[in-house]
Structure 1
């Protein structure tokens, strides 16, 4: 369990099953944001079922029991994990939930023995790009299964010991 203090409450980050109603609602919110930001671009939908697979660790951020954010940490082998589909509910933005999820992903990567976190983020997702920049992620090239697209940025960061 990881806690992140904010001015209003502590976000508790834990690995949970994606097959929960509040998780499904957050994933639907993430899809709606992606559709708004990239209406004509190809998207890779992420569902609760797709996150229930082996090697996928879903981190859920809760404040007072309410699921207010999530991200997936996906084992990739070769000493790296992928951070995917980080979303913070609109009503919880600005409360440190995104930062807590990135820290939780790093802690999960350490538990898995990974030395690097990689991710893909859309160029139009200004808030996510700022979060990743503050967290120390740096540009890199595409990684499988992704390919270079004008709407995608690829980032990485070493996992602190």
Structure 2
């Protein structure tokens, strides 16, 4: 498996984002969806990582939006057939390393109450629950988490 920073505007990566949306949209009402689109993922302040298998197929992705004072994790996804192989942990570690190399020492995220696997994954990765941040409302269907790393 190879993980690298890539453009999200590639057909196989767009399919990953579409698959993520197809999974998440039935879980929450429209006003509780906080995903960002391909244009936003292509912004200069976004680190977008893609995991590819030995054949070059995109099997997972994730992003960190570099905000003043923290990086926000967005659009983490691994294809169902590639889960349980450590792909998500490797993508997360890669993104945190890239952000840390750019001076980021705090990571935040928003996920949903109907995603227990994601909640467990982030807790295992050292993320702790916190209150809303940035422009997020205090949404009862959202879970906000944060992780600080040593500089």
| 2:90 is aligned with 1:100 | yes
TM-score of the pair, normalised by structure 2: 0.93
| 2:82 is aligned with 1:68 | no
- The answer (yes or no) to whether the contact 2:5–2:48 under 8 Å persists in 1 is yes
After the TM superposition, which segments of 4 or more aligned residues of structure 1 sit over 6 Å from their partners?
none
Q: Deviations over 1:54-111 (max 9, x none)?
A: 2011011111111111111111112x10111101111111111111111112101211
TM-score of the pair, normalised by structure 1: 0.87
1:3-152 to 2 correspondence within 5 Å?
11-39=1-29, 41-64=31-54, 65-78=56-69, 80-152=70-142
Q: How many residues are matched?
A: 150
CA distance in 2, matches of 1:138, 1:118: 9
**Per the alignment, in what secondary structure is the counterpart of residue 97 of structure 2?**
helix
Gaps of 5+ in 1: 1-10
**Per the alignment, in what secondary structure is the counterpart of residue 105 of structure 1?**
helix
Name the structure where strand makes up a greater proportion of residues: 1
Aligned-pair distance for 1:23?
0.6
**Per the alignment, in what secondary structure is the counterpart of residue 32 of structure 2?**
coil
CA distance in 1, matches of 2:149, 2:34: 26
